[in-house]
């Protein structure tokens, strides 16, 4: 998940444009179960709704080429592309607004529903039963959805739909589904690439440990929790101006948190340098960084979404470990009863 913090500036001869600052943190790391190259990234951008901003029509945006997608945005063209954030949900939007309380209860309800329904879904409902036999394919499917949404962002005719369902506004949420859709949405290829590298690295390992049902619950729960934290943070911190958010970082920090809790000693590399202490130390460092970001408000990352996903991931890791321990204890007790009854029969 990424957030946008920006200052609306009056540019001579261009009207009001959007100035966004981008920053990029990449954690590439091999892990030991199995040994894979892993990565975590997060990017944030920001919008300022302090004053009405001229709506940029799709006709003002020339059809982009694939070369432009891979290149960095500079100059006026960059402002034009990033102003897509503003086409939906400004102060003049007359669509019905969802309250923060409604969004919170909706998000928690979806998390609970996914948890209870996903076992049945993957066990009995085609084509989801395919993932039960091929766990890694679930991760590849999530990758595919993210790439599909990214492709749709390159088509101006799709922007109204994407802005409603694939962008999480902090001030005017017109669709509850943006809690989920924004976690599958990326507008820039380098943002998409770094997040999907992280998902492929950690996800293909963790899904084989948890199983498809628990992994799906973890991923969706972390994505929604990240969105809810992102919405609550401006209220708690009393920030009047917060731009919309999008990206899979909240869900990915949840995956990282769960993985680190279950396999704390797994080796993690920051670029090519091993992190002392392994996965758990790397995760705690990311937790401290995101916490400090929320307090100090540096950069332009959606630190609140990262924290939300991280906390849900750790909780899920604890819960999974607790279930495994309970299962082992029941198995041990059954074995004890069998051996004990066998001993008594021998005496009598």
Start-to-end Cα distance in the chain? 67
Q: What are the two backbone dihedrals, phi and then psi, of residue 50, each rounded to the nearest 5 degrees?
A: -65, -25
Q: Residue written as tokens 């998000």?
A: 107
Which H or E run includes 258?
helix 249-262
Q: Which residue has the tokens 């036999």?
A: 133
Rg (CA), the chain: 22
d(CA 200, CA 28): 11
Instruction: Dump strand ranges (E) for the chain.
Output: 2-3, 6-11, 15-20, 25-32, 35-42, 245-246, 269-270, 273-274
The pair of three-digit structure tokens given for residue 239, joined into one six-digit string: 């920030």
Q: Which residues are catalytic?
A: 249, 306
CB-count exposure of residue 341 (10 Å: 0-12, 13-18, 19+) = exposed
State yes or no: cis peptide before 331, omega within 30 of 0. no
- Whether residue 262 contacts residue 321, with contact meaning beta carbons closer than 8 Å, is answered with yes
From the list 251, 249, 282, 248, the residue with the least C-alpha distance to 268 is 282
Per-residue pLDDT of the chain (348 residues; tens, 9 = 90+): 665 443 333 333 333 332 232 333 233 333 333 333 333 333 343 333 322 323 333 333 434 444 444 444 444 444 444 445 544 444 444 456 778 899 999 999 999 999 999 999 999 999 999 999 999 999 999 999 999 999 999 999 999 999 999 999 887 888 899 999 999 999 889 889 989 998 998 999 999 999 999 999 999 999 999 999 999 998 888 877 667 889 999 999 999 999 999 999 888 876 677 778 889 999 999 999 999 998 888 877 789 999 999 999 999 999 999 988 888 888 888 877 766 655 544 443
The predicted structure's pLDDT at residue 3: 58
Q: Is 45 helix (H, G, I), strand (E, B) or coil?
A: coil
SS (H, E, C) 269-314: EECCEECCCCHHHHHHHHHHHHHHHHHHCCCCCCHHHHHHHHHHHH
The token duo for 325 is 């321990």
> Where do the domains of the chain lie, and which CATH numbers do they carry?
97-331 (1.20.1540.10)
Q: Which two tokens stand for residue 345?
A: 């029969």
Would you state the torsion angle of the CA atoms of residues 188, 193, 199, 200, taken in this order, to the nearest 10 degrees? 150
d(CA 279, CA 27) in angstroms, rounded, equals 11
Unique residue bearing structure tokens 């959007």: 18
DSSP 209-232: HH-HHHHHHHHHHHHHHHHHHHHH
Q: Is the pTM of this model over 0.95?
A: no
Structure token pair of residue 235? 């209220």
Q: Which two tokens stand for residue 151?
A: 């492709």
């Amino acid at each position: 998940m990424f957030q946008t913090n920006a200052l609306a500036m009056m540019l001579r001869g261009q009207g009001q444009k959007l100035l966004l600052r981008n920053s990029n943190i990449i954690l590439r790391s091999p892990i030991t179960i199995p040994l894979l190259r892993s990565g975590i990234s997060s990017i944030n951008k920001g919008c300022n709704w302090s004053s009405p901003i001229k709506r940029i029509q799709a006709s003002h945006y020339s059809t982009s080429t694939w070369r432009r997608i891979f290149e960095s945005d500079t100059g006026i063209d960059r402002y034009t592309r990033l102003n897509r954030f503003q086409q939906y949900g400004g102060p003049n939007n007359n669509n019905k607004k969802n309250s923060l309380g409604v969004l919170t209860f909706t998000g928690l309800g979806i998390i609970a529903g996914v948890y209870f329904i996903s076992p049945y879904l993957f066990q009995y409902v085609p084509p989801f039963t395919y993932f039960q036999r091929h766990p890694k394919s679930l991760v590849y499917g999530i990758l595919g959805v993210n790439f599909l949404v990214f492709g749709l962002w390159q088509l101006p005719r799709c922007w109204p739909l994407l802005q409603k369902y694939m962008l999480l506004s902090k001030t005017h949420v017109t669709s509850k589904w943006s809690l989920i859709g924004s976690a599958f949405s990326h507008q820039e290829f380098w943002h998409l690439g770094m997040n999907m590298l992280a998902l492929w690295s950690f996800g293909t390992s963790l899904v084989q440990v948890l199983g498809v049902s628990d992994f799906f619950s973890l991923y969706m729960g972390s994505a929604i929790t990240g969105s809810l934290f992102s919405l609550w943070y401006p209220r708690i911190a009393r920030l009047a101006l917060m731009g919309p958010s999008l990206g899979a970082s909240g869900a990915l920090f949840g995956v990282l948190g769960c993985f680190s809790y279950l396999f704390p000693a797994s080796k993690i590399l920051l670029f090519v340098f091993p992190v002392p202490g392994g996965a758990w130390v790397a995760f705690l460092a990311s937790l401290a960084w995101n916490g400090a970001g929320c307090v100090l408000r540096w950069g332009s990352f959606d630190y609140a979404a990262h924290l939300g996903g991280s906390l849900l991931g750790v909780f899920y890791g604890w819960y999974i470990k607790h279930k495994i321990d309970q299962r082992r204890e029941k198995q041990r007790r059954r074995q004890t009863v069998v051996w004990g009854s066998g001993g008594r029969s021998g005496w009598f």
